[in-house]
Homo-oligomer: A and B are copies of this chain.
Amino acid sequence: MRTPLHPPIEDVGLAGVLSALGDPVRLRIVRVLADGEEHLRPDFDVPVGQSTLSHHMKTLRDAGVVLSRPEGTRCFVSLRPELEQRFPGLVAAVLRNLEGATGPAADH
């Protein structure tokens, strides 16, 4: 667990956030995170391998969506709180529209 580098919040751009959220796997991650709590990897049951999950985590982290807090060998992940001040209502709006709909074929 080396570098939990989070970009400064002023470097976080809207396009980057939306792009990071524009993926079914990452939306599922965010859905789990929606309760505001910290979560560990096993909580995200996404249909990808471990290394791919790691990649998606990095994508969310680099985009400023997610916060990683390594502790020992594990890594607690949570929604980045400053995002709300940066883009008020944005994450909330996404979360509200997230129920059961992460993809075009997910609403039946």
- Residue numbers of A with Cβ under 8 A of B are 10-24, 27, 87-90, 92-94, 96-98, 101-107
Chain B residues near A27: list those with CB within 8 A.
Answer: 14-15, 18
A22→B20 contact, CB < 8 A: yes
* Alpha-carbon distance between A22 and B92 when the two chains are bound, in angstroms: 17
Known contacts A19-B19, A22-B19, A22-B21; A14 and B101 CB within 8 A of each other: yes
Known contacts A13-B101, A15-B103, A102-B14; A88 and B94 CB within 8 A of each other: no
- Least distance between A48 CB and chain B CB atoms (Å): 15
Q: Which residue of B lies closest to A91 (CB)?
A: B93
Known contacts A20-B22, A22-B20, A93-B93; A13 and B106 CB within 8 A of each other: yes
